[in-house]
């Protein structure tokens, strides 16, 4: 069994192919967790729609401590990784699309 996860914040505005990245990981993963950082560009609404369409996907909202810029990505990544329930874990970035 494999857990997959991704962190996102305002990735729609950045033009990242995050929908395609999620879709490419779903056939491999038994669950896929998304940590969403209170986006203001519509990213949250899109990942919510994906979660409604696929029961493997769960979305968690997490405030990003923007005052600590050095470790924020590591902290957010570690927090969502701890929610993974399987021993094998696939980390996918919002700009990574897995090839078949």
Q: What are phi and psi for residue 64, nearest 5 degrees?
A: -95, 125
Q: What is the mean pLDDT of the chain?
A: 92
User: What percent of the chain stands above pLDDT 70?
Assistant: 95
The pLDDT, as a whole number, for residue 69 is 61
Neighbours of 13 (CB within 10 A): 12
As a dihedral over the C-alpha atoms of residue 10, residue 83, residue 95, residue 75, rounded to 10 degrees, the angle is 70
Check: CB of residue 60 under 8 Å from CB of residue 83. Answer: yes
For 46, the 3-state DSSP assignment is helix
Q: What pTM, to 2 d.p., does this model score?
A: 0.89
Q: Is the pLDDT of residue 95 over 90?
A: yes
- pLDDT digit string, tens, across residues 12-51: 999 999 999 999 999 999 999 999 999 999 999 999 999 9
Burial (CB < 10 A; 0-12, 13-18, 19+), residue 22, is: buried
Q: Is the pLDDT of residue 68 over 70?
A: no
The pLDDT, as a whole number, for residue 1 is 95
Burial (CB < 10 A; 0-12, 13-18, 19+), residue 3, is: buried
């Amino acid at each position: 069994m494999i857990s997959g996860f991704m962190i996102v914040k305002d990735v729609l505005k950045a033009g990242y192919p995050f929908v395609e990245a999620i879709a490419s990981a779903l056939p491999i993963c038994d669950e896929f967790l998304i940590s969403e950082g209170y986006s203001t560009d519509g990213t949250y609404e899109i990942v919510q729609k994906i979660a409604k369409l696929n029961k493997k996907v769960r979305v968690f909202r997490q405030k990003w401590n923007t005052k600590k810029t050095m470790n924020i990505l590591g902290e957010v990544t570690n927090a969502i990784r701890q929610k993974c329930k399987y021993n094998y874990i696939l980390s996918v970035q919002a700009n990574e699309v897995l090839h078949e």
